[in-house]
Chain A
C-alpha cells in the first residue's frame, strides 16, 4: 500500500495526459483508447465489488445497459439537453437498479450469488429486447446520442470524436478513479476488505455485513451506469449488446487479466484485450481468432498468475524489495506488559446507565438438534467484573452453550439476557454492538491483512457502529480510532508486530491477535473459547497473564480444558455435564465436589 498521499492520483493524471502523445506510436487509434477508458471506468466499480469485497458478479451488464439506456433515452428524446445531466440520471437509475438486484442476489453467497447475477442480467437483456422495445429501440438500440457541450461564459465547446472525446473521457475516468481511491481508503473500504477475507468475523466484531455488501454492489452499479452512459456518448448510439452476458463476461475477464483488487486492473485488462483484438484482427488479418487467443491467455493467467498482470508486477517488485531489506525477526514471545489501564479508549457504550444485575444471564437455555438434546434448561448468571470459568467433560455441551450465549446459535427455548436486556435471537453483530464479544478457539482472523489492519476492522465497528456510509472519509480521520488501536495492540503485546502480515505471525502471536480482535470491540463482557488451545507451556503462562491483565474493568467467561489454568484464573467455575449444569462454585469447592469427580471419572463397569 502506498503511504504517500495522492501519489497514485498524480501518476494517473500524468498518464492520462501523456497517453495521446505516446499511444499512437504503439499502434493505438484514438477510438480504441476511448473504448479502453470506458471499459476501465466500468471495471472500477466491478473491481470494488469483486476485488475488494469478494463478490463475483457476472451480471454487471444489467447496470451498464440501464444507465446507458436511461441517459440515451433522455437525450435522444429531447427530454434533457445537458449530456452531463442525463449521465447523472442514468447513473442514479443504475444505482437504484443495483439496490433492487442486490436485495435479491445478496441473499446468497458464492456460487449461488454468481448464478443469480447471471440470470438477472439475462432478464434485463430480455426486457430491453422486447417488452421495453418501445423505449429502448429493441435490437436496434437508440441512435443519435449527442456529445456534450460545455459552456464557458460566452464560449461553448462541443466535444467531438477522437482525441477531443478522449479529453472528456479522461476527465471522467480521472474523477472516477479519485472517488474510487477515496472509497477504498475509507472505513467502508476497510470493511469491504474484511468481508472479502472473513465475512463471519466481520459480522462478529459488529459490522452489518449485509448492508456493506449492498453498498459495494450499488457502487459497482453506479460506475457501470455511468460508463454505460459514456458508451452511448462515445459511439453516438446506445447498443443493446451492452446488456448481454458477453459484456459481463468480457468485464470479468479483463479485470482478471489486469489484476483483481487493484482498481487499475480493468484498465490494463481492457488495454490488453482491445490491443490484441486490433492487432490480431487487423494487422494479422486473423479474423475472429483473437477471442480464442484471449480466452487462452485468460485461462493461463487464472491458473498461474492469480493476481493478474498488475499483481505479477507487484510481486516482482516486492521480491526485490525483500532482498534489499532484511525481514524483522519474529518476536520471541514476550510476556505482555500489564497495561495500566484496562479500558481501551472510551467506549461509546459507557454512556449507558449502569446496570446493577448480572451482566450476562441465561434462563432455561435449551438446545435440541432433532432428537439430540445438547443443552437442557441451563440457568446461568455472571456478575459484573467476574472471571467465570466453564468446564466439563467431553460431550457436555459446552460449545453449544457458548454459541447460544453469543447468539451464534438460537436456543430452542430459554432466554439470554445481557445487561438486563433480552438478546435471544438477535444477530451476532448487534450483540457485539451491545457489548458482548467472543474470541474463537480456531483463529478467525483477516488473513490477508496485517495485524494493525485486523484491529482496525474491529475498532471501526466500535467507533462507528454497525453501519456508516462514510465512503469518502479518510480512515485516519475516524475519531478515537488511533487510540483504540494502539491501546489494543499494547494490551495484547503486538505493538512491535503491528505491520506484519497475519501469514507471517507465529501461532502464539496469532492467538493473541485473536483475543485482540475481540478486545478492540470494547466489550463489557468477553467470552473466550479455549484461549489456551494449542499452546506450549510457556505460551500458556503468557496467555494466563494476558487474561489477568485484560480482565480489569471487564467481565470474562472462559471455556477451557486446562484445569490448572482455570483454577488459577477463575473466581467461580461452572461445570457442565451431559448438557446440563452440574455444579457451580469456587475452584476449591469444585475440586472437592464428589459429583464432579464422578462425572469426570465415570467409566464402564468392568464387563
Chain B
C-alpha cells in the first residue's frame, strides 16, 4: 500500500549552500513519524521543502498520490499538508479566534470551532485576546489548533516542545497523543528524543542533511542510549520559561517561495514581527556533527527529571 506521503531523494539548497542531500522518507496513513536530528541537521529545511517555502532542486514529493514538489505553499496547503512552524508565527494583529477563522477560510473541510475549543479549552478562554498576548504554551497550542482547523491529511510539527515548561510539554504531548489515537497522521521534527519517541512509531535520524537511520521505536524503546551511541545527537535542554530568542538575521535571507525580501534589519536589531522575518533561526543552518563518533557526551541513562542546574 502506498504511503500517504512519499519523499523521494529531494535536494534542497539555501542560496548555494547544499542543505538536504537525497532525503527520502515515507509517512503512512495515521502514522506518527519523527524526524530527529541535532541543531542544524536539516530538519526544518525538510519541512519547509515539503510545505513549499523552499523549492527542492531535485527529487519528488507525492502527497496521497499527487506530486507536490514545486507547487506554491497555498496549493500544497490546500492539498492537505499543514505546517506548524517552529516560530509559531501567530498573527499578533488578529485575535486568537480570528487566527483560527483565518485558517479555515479556504479549507475544503474544516473543523468547527467547537471542536477546537473542546480540544483546547484554554484557547476558548482567551479567544478574544490578541494572538501574541497569550503565553508561549498557549501560542503553541494556537499554532497547532490553527493547523488542525484545516483538517489536514498530514500535520507537520516543527519542534513543538521547544522552549516550553515541562508541565506545558506534558499537556501538549497528551494532546498530540489524542490526535494520533484519533487517526491524525503526523510528521514530527524534534531534538527532544524522549518526546519524539513517546509519540512516534517510527523515527528517522537526519544528520548533516542526510537521512542516516530509520528505526521503529519498538526497537529503540528503553535503549535511548542506542541512538546516542550511534550518532551524536544533541538534544535540546529543557529550559523552563526562558523560551527562545526569535532573532532575525539580516535582511538578505530569502527562504520563501514568494521570493519576498525579509523585512529590514541590520545584524543585531531587535526582533520584529513583520513579513517573513522568521528565516533567521540558527537551527536552519546545517550543522556539522560527528557521523560515526565515539561518544562525546557519554551515553547515560535517560535521567528522570530535568537536568540539574548549577
Q: Which residue of A lies closest to B19 (CB)?
A: A534
Residues of A within 8 A of B286 (CB): 533-534
> A604 touching B170 by the CB < 8 A rule?
yes
Tell yes or no: A352 within 8 A of B by CB.
Answer: no
Residues of A within 8 A of B236 (CB): 393-395
Tell yes or no: A577 within 8 A of B by CB.
Answer: yes
Residues of A within 8 A of B162 (CB): 394-395
For the side of the interface on B, what is the size category?
35 or more
Q: Given A532-B288, A564-B293, A597-B300, does the pair A603, B238 have CB atoms closer than 8 Å? A: yes
Residues of A within 8 A of B198 (CB): 604, 606-607
> B296 touching A564 by the CB < 8 A rule?
yes
Residues of B within 8 A of A507 (CB): 16-18
Chain A, residues 564-602, CB within 8 Å of chain B (1/0): the string is 110100000000011100110000000100011111111
Q: In the complex, how many angstroms separate the beta carbon of B160 from the nearest chain A beta carbon? A: 12
Tell yes or no: B249 within 8 A of A by CB.
Answer: yes
Residues of B within 8 A of A394 (CB): 39, 162, 191, 234, 236-237, 244, 282-283
Q: In the complex, how many angstroms separate the beta carbon of B236 from the nearest chain A beta carbon? A: 5
Q: In the complex, how many angstroms separate the beta carbon of B291 from the nearest chain A beta carbon? A: 8
- The total number of A-B Cβ pairs within 8 Å is 189
Q: In the complex, how many angstroms separate the beta carbon of B106 from the nearest chain A beta carbon? A: 31
Complex Cα spacing A600 to B193, Å: 11
Q: Which residue of B lies closest to A199 (CB)?
A: B266
Q: In the complex, how many angstroms separate the beta carbon of A107 from the nearest chain B beta carbon? A: 14
Tell yes or no: A562 within 8 A of B by CB.
Answer: yes
Tell yes or no: A399 within 8 A of B by CB.
Answer: yes
> A200 touching B267 by the CB < 8 A rule?
yes
> B250 touching A200 by the CB < 8 A rule?
yes
Q: In the complex, how many angstroms separate the beta carbon of A492 from the nearest chain B beta carbon? A: 18
Which of A200, A565, A604 has its CB near the most chain B CB atoms (within 10 A)? A604
> B288 touching A442 by the CB < 8 A rule?
no
Q: In the complex, how many angstroms separate the beta carbon of A324 from the nearest chain B beta carbon? A: 27
Across the interface, A110 reaches (CB within 8 A) one of B239, B264, B296, B302, namely B264
Complex Cα spacing A571 to B289, Å: 20
> A562 touching B287 by the CB < 8 A rule?
yes
> B245 touching A372 by the CB < 8 A rule?
yes
Q: Given A394-B236, A399-B245, A561-B287, does the pair A604, B192 have CB atoms closer than 8 Å? A: yes
Tell yes or no: A444 within 8 A of B by CB.
Answer: yes
Q: Interface residues of B: mostly helix, strand, loop or mixed?
A: loop
Across the interface, A373 reaches (CB within 8 A) one of B169, B173, B191, B242, namely B242
Chain B, residues 127-167, CB within 8 Å of chain A (1/0): the string is 00000000000000000000000000000000001110010
Q: Given A393-B234, A596-B297, does the pair A563, B268 have CB atoms closer than 8 Å? A: no
Residues of B within 8 A of A595 (CB): 307-310
Complex Cα spacing A597 to B308, Å: 10
Tell yes or no: B202 within 8 A of A by CB.
Answer: no
Q: List 14 A-B contacts (CB under 8 A).
A: A198-B252, A374-B242, A394-B191, A406-B268, A510-B16, A533-B286, A537-B291, A582-B310, A597-B300, A599-B237, A600-B297, A601-B297, A602-B238, A607-B174
Using a CB–CB cutoff of 8 Å, the interface residues on chain A facing chain B are: 109-110, 198, 200, 203-204, 369, 372-374, 393-397, 399-400, 403, 406-409, 428, 440-442, 444, 506-507, 510, 530, 532-535, 537, 540, 560-565, 567, 577-579, 582-583, 591, 595-607
Using a CB–CB cutoff of 8 Å, the interface residues on chain B facing chain A are: 14, 16-19, 38-40, 161-163, 166, 169-170, 173-174, 191-195, 198, 228, 232, 234-239, 242-245, 247, 249-250, 252-253, 264, 266-268, 270-271, 282-283, 285-291, 293, 296-298, 300, 302-310
